[in-house]
Amino acid sequence: MDTSSPLTVEHCPLDADMTITAIDIDERHRFRMLELGLRVGTIIRVIQKSNFGGRVIAKGTERIAIDGHTAARVAVTPAEGV
């Protein structure tokens, strides 16, 4: 894995608690992410990988599917103290 660029949802391991550190998408889609409760500081976990880069992520008891483009634009780091 390339450590020079930030880790994204697209490349993070399954079932590992991760903290969202940045969301680099257009304003319209960013607003939808906020509606879903996905914002900087939120702890998520990738629970399923699908074709074409899509991911299913867990946020608490919620399950949210995101497309590959979005998964590649959401930066994460391992969650601490979880």
pLDDT tens profile 7-52: 999 999 999 999 999 999 999 888 999 999 999 999 999 999 998 8
DSSP H or E stretch at residue 68: helix 68-73
| Nearest Cα to Cα of residue 36 among 48, 49, 51, 23 | 23
How far is the C-alpha of 61 from the C-alpha of 35, rounded, in Å? 16
CB 20 within 8 A of CB 30: no
Show the domains of the chain with their CATH numbers. Answer: 17-78 (2.30.30.90)
pTM (2 decimals)? 0.88
Distance CA 46, CA 63 (A): 10
Q: What is the pLDDT of residue 1?
A: 46
